[in-house]
Amino acid sequence: MIRSHVLICGGTGCTSGGSQAIGEKLQKEIDRLGLTDEIKIVRTGCFGLCALGPVMIVYPEGTFYSHVKVEDVTDIAEEHLLKGRIVERLVYKETEGLKMEDVPALGETNFYKTQLRVALRNCGVIDPENIEEYIAMDGYQALGKVLTEMTPQEVIDVMKKSGLRGRGGAGFPTGMKWQFAAGNVADQKYVVCNADEGDPGAFMDRSVLEGDPHAVLEAMAIAGYAIGASKGYIYVRAEYPIAVHRLEVAIGQAREYGLLGNDIFGTGFNFDVDVRLGAGAFVCGEETALLTSIEGNRGEPRNKPPFPANKGLFGKPTIINNVETLANIPQIIMKGADWFASMGTEDSRGTKVFALGGAINNTGLVEIPLGTTLRHIIYDIGGGIPNGRKFKAVQTGGPSGGCIPASLLDTPIDYGNLTRIGAMMGSGGMIVTDDSTCMVDFARFFLDFTVDESCGKCTPCRIGTRRLLELLNKITEGNGTLEDLDKLEELCNYIKANSLCALGQTAPNPVLSTLKYFRDEYEAHVVEKRCPAGVCKKLMRYYIQPDVCRGCTACARKCPVGAISGKVKEPHTIDTNKCIKCGACIETCKFNAIVKK
């Protein structure tokens, strides 16, 4: 009889931290201690607190262990599982030095207490490779309900009424998309799940697939019923091996239980799903390029219209929904459109998952009702900026989005607000930067990415982004002029207006938003030939502070190009014309006399 469940995170983050080996060792220890029939190990999806990984929860106590190592496993098994004594040193205490009795329950920690988990509700709770655990959490009830109690039009009406908008980037109303596809008559229609999550720093779709794959399958079947499709495809990137594996397991189990296939619930409804692997091209996250790729062609976007709802995969009416969008749907069916619409703001209903990354303490996944402010996410849930540094900006929407400065931290996040301030929701990546980031270099980084990922089909994107990158390189190398800033802006607007697909249309956003909010940094690079954050190497000057230098000559001896001179016991100086900025002198100096400016 099982009396205790040990939940070990099997998401990509914790797996790369060694959670697989921890699970195997723990099973061995459990067997050794004769607890095999009493304690069950469950490998779940992501808990969200990736910064603390590998993480483990022991139920029924609800003890949350963080930063677990293989060496800790014996202690956990012998002390906690065998003798019931919690291993205090591994317990996540939120605040350092807290006494055990004051440690908040996991749901009461700052990280979790204001989160509202809808799309992520089963992530970190169930074993994603066991369909019965999903069923225990009311899984496939929604599919049963729509097939036996609702007409397709009723399903679409619920979706429309709920106000759910696409979570992949553009935010198109899901119910409307379904309505268009349902209205078309065709011998075959398709439901496609876009799991080609390509934004650097975004990992919510991966986490849903890894933690709750059946929710996506169930939602696809519901969508199939609503629009009259019997076939679905999940387009997922091959770089997500754990997600792909769990999807395949889930599809296999769903077929075995008759929840995919023919005559589901004896209603005569047929639906099946296949996985298609993407090779990692960013452009394939764009819906028409994704369809082209599934068809077996090179992933390039096509013109819209015709929209996929009219003429999509293999020329048939197709709806394409993002993973997170789908993950919301079974619950909307079960709990009703009003329940969903009661969360969020007028323009954006429901919750949204964000992947917090960059200069932030609690790197991880958070799900909050839309309308929450950025400040709350970054400071209260995210735990603020590490190393005592100052917040500078947050980039939402990855390479397609824009950066948001400190002055706009109190903006409630929803689709409309983010677009108004020049950023965008995107898929939900949130990269936080502190004052050690150069915003010009930051924009350059994203442009570098889009130049690489531009498919080359249309000229504004293929050539325009490259010219943008060249201009940014020129500025970060100290060769920019004020005229270049105007040129940047003009070119950005041109690319936005003329590119074929969303990749090109949004690629200039990082440049435009940094120009808008951090123009002073651009000007410092151009006019003063100085990088205020000390990042741009070509603009960096090494400088010896005369009042700190003891004249020990260590740096002069270390300098590979002989740029440092000075008499013994007297302050030295660096000849900036000779200096190659290798940094060897800084490492050598025992008195911290050398600074980068």
Partner 1 sequence: MKSLEELAKIRERMQNKVVLREGQANIRVAVGMATCGIAAGARPVLNALVEEVAKRNLTDKVTVTQTGCIGMCRFEPIVEVFDGDKERVTYIKVTPEKAREIVEKHLVGGNPIAEYTIGAAEK
The β-bridge partners of 320 are: 192
What whole-number distance in Å separates Cα of residue 456 and Cα of residue 398? 20
The verdict on 28 binding partner 1 (CB under 8 A) reads no
Least CB distance to partner 1 at residue 51 (A):
23
Handedness of CA 79, 81, 82, 83 (dihedral sign): positive
Q: Choose between 264 and 319: whose C-beta lies nearer to partner 1.
A: 264
Stretch that binds partner 1, among 56-64, 329-337, 482-490, 551-559 (CB under 8 A): 56-64
Contact with partner 1 (CB under 8 A): which of 31, 61, 102, 452? 61
- 307 part of the interface to partner 1, by CB under 8 A: no
Part in contact with partner 1 (CB under 8 A); list of ranges 151-159, 258-266, 310-318, 332-340: 258-266
Q: Using alpha carbons only, what angle is made at residue 102 by residues 99 and 107, rounded to the nearest 5 degrees?
A: 130
Under the binding rule (CB under 8 A), the answer on residue 176 touching partner 1 is no
Q: Which of 50, 76, 123, 125: binder of partner 1 (CB under 8 A)?
A: 125
Q: Which stretch binds partner 1 (CB under 8 A): 82-90, 294-302, 529-537, 541-549?
A: 82-90
Is residue 88 a contact point for partner 1 (CB under 8 A)?
no
Position among 91, 135, 277, 554 found at the interface with partner 1 (CB under 8 A):
135
Does position 27 bind partner 1 by CB under 8 A?
no
Contact 93, 106 (CB under 8 A): no
Q: Decide if residue 259 touches partner 1 (CB under 8 A).
A: yes
Interaction between residue 228 and partner 1 (CB under 8 A): no
CB of 59: closest distance to partner 1 in angstroms? Answer: 5
* Amino acid present at 182: A
> Which one, of 311, 277, 273, lies nearest residue 294 by Cα?
277
Q: Of the candidates 47, 323, 53, 43, which has an alpha carbon nearest to the alpha carbon of residue 206? A: 323
Q: Which is nearer to partner 1, 114 or 141 (CB)?
A: 141
Window contacting partner 1 (CB under 8 A); options: 125-133, 169-177, 232-240, 342-350:
125-133
426 is written with which tokens? Answer: 């995107």
Residue 140 as a binder of partner 1 (CB under 8 A): the answer is yes
Shortest distance (Å) from residue 107 CB to partner 1? 8
Closest approach, Cβ 272 to partner 1, in A, equals 14
In SS3 terms, 489-530 reads as HHHHHHHHHHCCCHHHHHCCHHHHHHHHHCHHHHHHHHCCCC
Tell me: does residue 97 bind partner 1 (CB under 8 A): no
Contact 521, 560 (CB under 8 A): no
Q: Does 250 bind partner 1 (CB under 8 A)?
A: no
Determine whether 472 is exposed, middle or buried from the number of CB atoms within 10 Å of its CB (0-12, 13-18, 19+).
buried
Spatial separation of the C-alpha atoms in residues 287 and 273, rounded to whole Å: 18
335 part of the interface to partner 1, by CB under 8 A: no
CB of 10 to partner 1, least distance (A): 15
- Residues binding partner 1: what is the number (CB under 8 A)? 37
Which C-beta is closer to partner 1: that of 75 or that of 435?
75
DSSP lists the bridge partners of residue 272 as: 231
Neighbours of 36 (CB within 10 A): 11
Contact, 184 vs 310, CB < 8 A?
Answer: yes
Q: Which is nearer to partner 1, 107 or 306 (CB)?
A: 107
Asked whether 285 and 197 are in contact (CB, 8 A), the reply is yes
Interface with partner 1, residue 100, by CB under 8 A? no
262 binds partner 1 per the rule CB under 8 A: no
Instruction: Pick the binder of partner 1 from 32, 69, 85, 113 (CB under 8 A).
Output: 85
Kindly state whether residue 586 participates in binding partner 1, applying the rule CB under 8 A. Answer: no
Judged by CB under 8 A, which of 75, 87, 104, 138 binds partner 1?
138
Residue 593 has phi, psi (to 5 degrees) of: -85, -15
Residue 377 amino acid letter = I
Rounded Cα distance, 70 and 83, in Å: 20
Q: Are 229 and 142 in contact (CB under 8 A)?
A: no
- The stretch among 127-135, 307-315, 463-471, 557-565 that binds partner 1 (CB under 8 A) is 127-135
Q: For strands 364-369 and 351-358, give the pairing.
A: antiparallel
Distance, CA of 447 to CA of 469 (rounded, Å): 6
Q: CB 230 → partner 1: shortest distance, Å?
A: 17
Determine if 62 is a binding residue for partner 1 (CB under 8 A).
Answer: yes
Residue 542 binds partner 1, judged by CB under 8 A: no
- 21, 27, 38, 466: residue in contact with partner 1 (rule CB under 8 A): 38
Cα 422–chain centre separation: 20
Amino acid identity of 151? T
Note whether 334 binds partner 1 by CB under 8 A: no
Closest separation in Å from C-beta 222 to partner 1: 15
Question: Is the Cα torsion angle 84, 85, 89, 92 positive or negative in sign?
Answer: positive
Calpha distance 79→40 (Å, rounded): 16
Residues that bind partner 1 (CB under 8 A): 1-5, 7, 38, 57, 59-62, 82-85, 105, 107, 125-126, 132-133, 135-138, 140-141, 144, 148, 257-259, 263-266
